[in-house]
Amino acid sequence: MYLTIKETAEYLSLPESYIEKLIQQKKIRVVHDGEQFLINREQFNSHLEQMEKMKKLIEEYLNEPIPEDLDVKDED
């Protein structure tokens, strides 16, 4: 399914100007139909899946309790 720049911005929750910048930098593949740029939505699926996995890993890491260091000695 192809989306316009506005629809892509809404889909990714990003500003339209940022999407336009990514297009200019050729980081997003687009098709120009003569009037507007069309962006294939499927190219973001793997990226979004990886972002969700990374968020879960970071959350697990941050929620992991800090183990007590048994080698700590009180030296005076």
Annotate 3-67 with three-state secondary structure: ECHHHHHHHHCCCHHHHHHHHHCCCCCEEECCCCEEEEHHHHHHHHHHHHHHHHHHHHHHHCCCC
Pairwise pLDDT comparison (26 vs 47), residue with the higher score:
26
Contacts of 19 (CB under 8 A, 6+ apart): 5, 8, 9, 12, 28, 39
Mean pLDDT in residue range 28-50: 87
Q: Which CATH number applies to 2-63: 3.40.1710, 1.10.3470, 3.30.160, 3.90.105?
A: 3.90.105
What confidence tier does 45 reach under pLDDT thresholds 50, 70, 90? confident
Query: pLDDT at position 49, please?
Result: 85
Query: Are residues 43 and 28 in contact, defined by beta-carbon separation less than 8 angstroms?
Result: yes
What confidence tier does 60 reach under pLDDT thresholds 50, 70, 90? very high
The chain-wide mean pLDDT, for the chain, equals 87
**Model confidence at 27: pLDDT above 80:** yes
Domain ranges of the chain: 2-63
